[in-house]
Amino acid sequence: MSFSDFVVIHGNWLRVTEVFLLCLLSGCSICWFNTVCFVLCIRNFPVHRTLALSLTVSFNGVSAALYTLAANSIDPSSHELYLLLNSLVPLIVCIAALIPILRQPPVDSLTPDTVNRDSLVFLILNFLAIFTGLYLLLFASTASSMTSARLHFGVTILLLILPMFIPGIVYARAWARRTIHSSFKIEGSSFLLVHDEDLELHKELLSRHNSFAGNGDSYSLLSNNGSMYSNPKEGNSDVRCERIIGQDHLTMLGEEHSAAVLLRRSDFWLYYITYFCGGTIGLVYSNNLGQIAQSLGLSSSTSTIVTLYSSFSFFGRLLSAGPDYIRSKFYFARTGWLSIALIPTPIAFFLLAASDSSLTLYTGTALIGMSSGFIFAAAVSVTSELFGPNSVGVNHNIVITNIPIGSLLYGFLAALVYDTNARSTPGNMTTSDSVVCMGRQCYFWTFVWWGCTSVLGLCSSVLLFLRTKHAYEHFEEHRTSTHAIVS
């Protein structure tokens, strides 16, 4: 081996090592950052934690479109700029957010006025978030020149900064109402997301003073080894099915689970498979969007497709708060909404396998983005409700271990199918160091396998819903009975 070959080989390995270390550091940072955000939302918004988590994760989903717009407004031809923005912007934002987080006072007991005021704030923030997402999808993604990209980027920054002023405006309005005796009232508004009575019920649930053993149809709570002992009144029909579904299932929401107990629960593994075969597979799809678009001859539309996925993922994350908005008129277990959110994923993958048109790619990308976005946002609330809010930091990190595992397995499958077709199919493009696969066959079997895997996730989510719906029904019955007593 010549000296030049030695330098080239070791230079390539050095670059691979650098990429590996960068991915390792960024992955650790993302996990730490997300955990801190989730814990802060749950601790500071105990009544509105679902809405706070939905907003937090939603803006996380639109970051790809934002970084693309920022790079296009400065230098569209520079790939290094995109990496530089991804390294500097999070650091600056974290330093700016660190001061108010450290100075955050302890959460006192929440009064009904505080609950109502926070409900109004979250309602305004959700409308503003929807407008921001629509703007990025309809206008910012179509910027054709650097000048228009800069204009849209400036408007987007304004929309992202505006939410910081909304709480101050609402507090000022409340102060004016108390001081000037304004006739404007927000109590009793149909837009309120949490009623006053829910506050006491929420405290009662989290302190675990509840017991659903008040009637003969109820179930006992956790035993010492973490299993559930059920004693339902069973009829003569469907007994075997009921035993399969009801064995070792949760009977109340908010019961704290340690990591050891969590790993012994069947509901946890059903939930893990649901996430692994649902949200994670959508994330891997987004990571392969550039290569998918290239294989279909749509390389020039890659930025548009990435923005489309990011925007619809954003809307999916916002939609995860939908059950809380319509709870008073239509109540459904959150695990049931999780099953509904998974339905578009297999449909999208089978559509992508059936057709290679640009319209199919856009439609499938939008469906997968919305479905996976809903799952990402709802998952934190589901983890908190099923396995305890105080343990969510540890438990949810155990749940999302499926993301690196799924990324490895699904990515390896996609690479294997891609490389096989790249070598065996004539007419593919050859670059300096690799062969670029062109055509529908490059990802056909990948889409088929991903679609079948997402069907498995859908089945797992349906089984999880059947096993947990009784706990959600008990919680809702207790909530409505509490309202009836108070009124």
DSSP state of 219: -
CA distance 243 to 4: 69
Please, which residues have CB within 8 angstroms of residue 110's CB and are 6 or more apart in sequence?
Answer: 46, 47, 199
Q: Quote the pLDDT of residue 226.
A: 38
Q: Stretch 203-222: mean pLDDT, rounded?
A: 42
Percentage of the chain lying above the pLDDT 70 cut: 72
Query: Which residues, listed in sequence order, are joined to residue 429 by a DSSP beta bridge?
Result: 436
CA distance 256 to 110: 22
Q: Quote the pLDDT of residue 194.
A: 42
Q: Quote the pLDDT of residue 285.
A: 93
Give the total residue count for the chain: 487
Q: Which of 271, 276, 233 is nearest to 385 (CA)?
A: 271
Residue range 293-303, pLDDT digits in tens? 988 888 888 87
207-216 burial, b if ≥16 CB within 10 A, otherwise e?
eeebebeeee
In this predicted model, which residue has the larger pLDDT, 193 or 301? 301
CA distance 406 to 402: 6
Residue range 15-26, pLDDT digits in tens? 777 777 877 787
**Confidence band for 220, pLDDT divided at 50, 70 and 90:** very low
Question: Per mean pLDDT, which of 143-147, 296-300, 479-483 is the most reliable?
Answer: 296-300
Q: Which fold has domain 223-487?
A: Growth Hormone; Chain: A; (1.20.1250)
Please, which residues have CB within 8 angstroms of residue 189's CB and are 6 or more apart in sequence?
Answer: 116, 120
Question: What distances in angstroms separate CA 315 from CA 63, 152, 249, 259, 303, one per listed residue?
Answer: 13, 19, 32, 32, 18
In this predicted model, which residue has the larger pLDDT, 77 or 230? 77
Q: Quote the pLDDT of residue 249.
A: 67
- What's the predicted TM-score (pTM) here? 0.73
The CA angle 44-50-53, to the nearest 5 degrees, is 70
Q: What token pair was written down for 70?
A: 């920022």
Q: Stretch 297-310: mean pLDDT, rounded?
A: 83
**Confidence band for 62, pLDDT divided at 50, 70 and 90:** confident
Q: Stretch 426-446: mean pLDDT, rounded?
A: 74
CA distance 12 to 18: 10
CB 347 within 8 A of CB 280: no
Of 370-379, 408-417, 475-484, where does mean pLDDT reach its minimum?
A: 475-484
How do the domains of the chain map onto residue ranges? 1-44, 60-183, 223-487
Given a cut of 80, whether residue 463 has pLDDT beyond it is yes
Percentage of the chain lying above the pLDDT 90 cut: 15
CB 402 within 8 A of CB 276: yes
Q: Which amino acid appears at position 470 of this protein?
A: H
Q: Quote the pLDDT of residue 111.
A: 66
Given a cut of 80, whether residue 221 has pLDDT beyond it is no
Q: Quote the pLDDT of residue 450.
A: 95
Residue range 240-281, pLDDT digits in tens? 545 555 566 677 777 788 888 888 888 899 999 999 998 899
Given a cut of 70, whether residue 460 has pLDDT beyond it is yes
Mean pLDDT score of the chain:
75
Residue range 344-368, pLDDT digits in tens? 999 999 999 998 888 999 999 999 9
